Structure 1
Amino acid sequence: MKRIVANNKKVEIIEDEVPSIEGKPSYILVKTLYSVISPGTELSLLAVSEKRQVHLGYSAMGEVVDCGSDITDVKKGDLVACYGAPYVHHDEYLLVPKTLYAKVPDTVEPKEAALGGLGAIAIHALRIANLQFGETVVIIGLGVLGQLIAKIAHAAAYNVIAYDLHESRVDMLKEDNIKSFATVDEMEEALRIDTKSRGADAVLLCAGGKRSPLTHECLKWIRTKGKAVIVGDIEPDFPRDLMFGKEAQLLISRAGGPGRYDTVYEKEAIDYPYEYVRWTEGRNLEEYIRLVNEKKIDVRAFLSETVEFDDAPQEFEKLLNKESSTLTKIIKFT
């Protein structure tokens, strides 16, 4: 099979063996139909691939071609959304544990399902914020992840205020009647009016940049006892005085939810008890599929650019050289 990797800061297509399901009763073998490029994460991996090979990708969907003996919820021929490296990459075939896939109904477009990994990450970020109905959330940075968070928060009836310095990204959310702004002054004025100058219940930082002034600014935007949630690749540099003055909470959202990076949950495919860990990464993935299926969120704006598998390395080059302003690109395998 073919797979896309970063090798010495270049993106390449290599040949590898199809993974075997033998001895994996809790796994399925998936023939990939679409996978999603996540520019922030994957360009970071590309940057650290000097003198080594790094596998790329973590969100995809495809057709089940084989099932382990313990699999009962899907069968050969079913479509599934899959999430999470090292089980999900830009590979022609994926060997996925039962805790990291969700069945895709016929009413969901395959390309929509391919965004499932990003959807799970967006959902988990909102769960970390632990907002209640009617509370105000400010979302800073409207890349594909920030966009998804804003859409899901809006569907949950939170009061959403979003900001990005790119007008085009701001306009995408305005189509969903979400309050979004391309200047800080406009965003702050909307926040002042909506909260009667009390401040947001939470600010989600979805922008990149290790040393960002946003870590200081966001503390001015939250209310007393409000929350700052780091979602993007930002160094947590928060001034003590500002945090102390508001008794602010600092939270970090890690990937798609409980279970991520736990070998028992992922590699051994042993799920956490539903009663005690309600929203695992796998259940967040299922929830994304439900939201799309029930038309609670519209993700079609992220599906406009599909690239053929063999052309993917050039598309990574365009993203790396900032020749493309696209939020994400969908890789087509067939």
Structure 2
Amino acid sequence: MKNKRVVFSSPWKVELLEEDFNSQILREDEIVVKKLYTLISPGTELACLSGNESWFSMPGTPGYAAVSEIVDVGDDEHSFRKGDIVFHYGDHSKYQKVSVRGNVLKVPETMNLRWVPFTRMATVAATSIRVSNIEFGDDVGVTGLGLIGNMAAQLAQLQGANVIGIDLSGKRLEIAERCGVFDLHNGDVSSAKVHVLEKTNGAGVSTHIEATGIPQVGVGSLEWIAKLGEIVFLGSPRGEFNGDITDVLNYCHLYNRGCITFKGAHEWRFPIEPNEFVKHSLVRNSNIVFDLMNRIKLQVEPLISHVLAPEQAALAYEGLRNYKDEYFGVLFDWS
């Protein structure tokens, strides 16, 4: 059968390749899936497309969030069968051979299939909640309301927090409002500080989730975190930043500067599959997200900006790079 896959062939060059797909002999733990929808992760994939991510080799196929139909199985010992609809960490291709030993989950029959790939974004966002000390009634800030920041804000509210969402994009703020985020601020770090301190009666937020990945924003947000509070780095820091590291570290070290705890929230800090020695896993988080989406407690539909054919891949990445207010949640429809 013929396979199609999106390929980053060189920096800022996107192609769609067509080739024969031969699954050959499947191992016992392997299945072949036919993609229905895959979701672009804008921050990660644009960084890969720039050629600045050392772990991504060109030419290469990006992508890590998919909903698919199983078309072949290697062994009947596991619970997966042909025809099952599954969520998995799939790339942007029509067919793919994957192992069931990982985060491969059957999709609830009642679930909107366009929402399913967003499970990956939600579990990434959930890491910031898992590592935090957020409790019912806490004030929480979120800088950057893209897909992951938006979901982090929604999940923090479900945790019982009073969330202040901050972004420079009016469109992202509008989408966050449609997703039910209550307090939103359009402005830079300086104006955000004024807004946050006003909303918290001068105390600052007890938890701040930094989802932009811009180092300057993370450093600037230290000024509105409450004493003994925490900053959670959800967005992977990228780009060069020159500053006084001693001043930054004193926000952590000195009580009169806040005695702030710095935390990393990269998703891979938790195991993929359930483990009796660790409470949380990516599988557990994914199942919880399924439930929240199904009950419309976690909003997804407002996050979908485009559903495009794979043949429009170059257009999709150009839009995400240059027209950020118009392109944000972009799905490829492989059906």
Secondary structure of residue in 2 paired with 1:113: coil
Q: Is the 8 A contact 1:201 1:227 kept in 2?
A: yes
The residue number in structure 1 matching 2:93 is: 91
Amino acid in the other structure paired with 2:63: G
Q: CA deviation at 1:136?
A: 2.0
Secondary structure of residue in 2 paired with 1:119: helix
User: How many Å separate the matches in 2 of 1:321 and 1:165?
Assistant: 15
The residue number in structure 2 matching 1:203 is: 208
Match among 110, 115, 125 for residue 113 of structure 2: 110
Match among 142, 146, 151 for residue 145 of structure 2: 142
The residue number in structure 2 matching 1:330 is: 331
Q: Is the 8 A contact 2:39 2:331 kept in 1?
A: yes
Amino acid in the other structure paired with 1:218: S
User: How many Å separate the matches in 2 of 1:111 and 1:51?
Assistant: 29
The residue number in structure 2 matching 1:262 is: none
CA deviation vs aligned residue, 1:193-235 (integer Å, no higher than 9, x gap): 55432221211111133xx322222211212221111111325
Secondary structure of residue in 2 paired with 1:109: coil
Match among 238, 244, 253 for residue 244 of structure 1: 253
Aligned CA distance change for structure 1 residues 213 and 304 (closer, same or farther; 3 Å): closer
Most deviating of 229-238 and 294-303: 229-238
Match among 172, 177, 181 for residue 174 of structure 1: 177
Q: What count of residue pairs does the alignment treat as equivalent?
A: 317
Amino acid in the other structure paired with 2:307: T
User: How many Å separate the matches in 1 of 2:181 and 2:236?
Assistant: 28
Q: Is the 8 A contact 1:307 1:332 kept in 2?
A: yes
User: How many Å separate the matches in 2 of 1:297 and 1:171?
Assistant: 16
Secondary structure of residue in 1 paired with 2:267: coil
Structure 1 runs of 4+ with >4 Å offset: 184-187, 235-238
User: How many Å separate the matches in 2 of 1:171 and 1:185?
Assistant: 21
Amino acid in the other structure paired with 1:244: H
User: How many Å separate the matches in 2 of 1:241 and 1:272?
Assistant: 38
User: How many Å separate the matches in 1 of 2:27 and 2:203?
Assistant: 54
Secondary structure of residue in 2 paired with 1:276: coil
Most deviating of 59-68 and 17-26: 17-26
Q: How does 1:55-74 map to 2 (within 5 A)?
A: 55-69=61-75, 72-74=78-80
For structure 2, the residue ranges without an aligned partner over 5 or more in a row are none
TM-score, normalised with respect to structure 1 = 0.86
The residue number in structure 2 matching 1:5 is: 7
The residue number in structure 1 matching 2:227 is: 224
Most deviating of 141-150 and 276-285: 276-285
Q: CA deviation at 1:155?
A: 2.2
Q: Is the 8 A contact 1:219 1:243 kept in 2?
A: no
Aligned CA distance change for structure 1 residues 57 and 325 (closer, same or farther; 3 Å): same
CA deviation vs aligned residue, 1:113-143 (integer Å, no higher than 9, x gap): 0212111101112212242232222100011
TM-score, normalised with respect to structure 2 = 0.85
User: How many Å separate the matches in 2 of 1:226 and 1:317?
Assistant: 39
Q: Is the 8 A contact 1:161 1:187 kept in 2?
A: no
Aligned CA distance change for structure 1 residues 192 and 52 (closer, same or farther; 3 Å): closer
Q: How does 1:1-334 map to 2 (within 5 A)?
A: 1-9=3-11, 10-18=13-21, 20=23, 22-48=25-51, 52-69=58-75, 72-83=78-89, 88-98=90-100, 99-175=102-178, 176-183=180-187, 184=189, 187-189=192-194, 191-209=196-214, 212-234=215-237, 239-245=248-254, 246-255=258-267, 258-259=270-271, 271-273=273-275, 275-322=276-323, 325-334=326-335
Amino acid in the other structure paired with 2:108: P
Secondary structure of residue in 2 paired with 1:15: strand
User: How many Å separate the matches in 2 of 1:167 and 1:219?
Assistant: 24
User: How many Å separate the matches in 2 of 1:26 and 1:75?
Assistant: 12
For structure 1, the residue ranges without an aligned partner over 5 or more in a row are 260-264, 266-270
Q: CA deviation at 1:17?
A: 4.7
Q: CA deviation at 1:43?
A: 0.8
User: How many Å separate the matches in 2 of 1:51 and 1:141?
Assistant: 28
Q: Is the 8 A contact 2:274 2:284 kept in 1?
A: no
Secondary structure of residue in 2 paired with 1:202: strand
Q: CA deviation at 1:257?
A: 5.0
User: How many Å separate the matches in 2 of 1:133 and 1:73?
Assistant: 39
Amino acid in the other structure paired with 1:243: C
CA deviation vs aligned residue, 1:90-133 (integer Å, no higher than 9, x gap): 01123333321222112211110021211110111221224223
Secondary structure of residue in 1 paired with 2:60: strand
Q: Is the 8 A contact 1:116 1:285 kept in 2?
A: yes
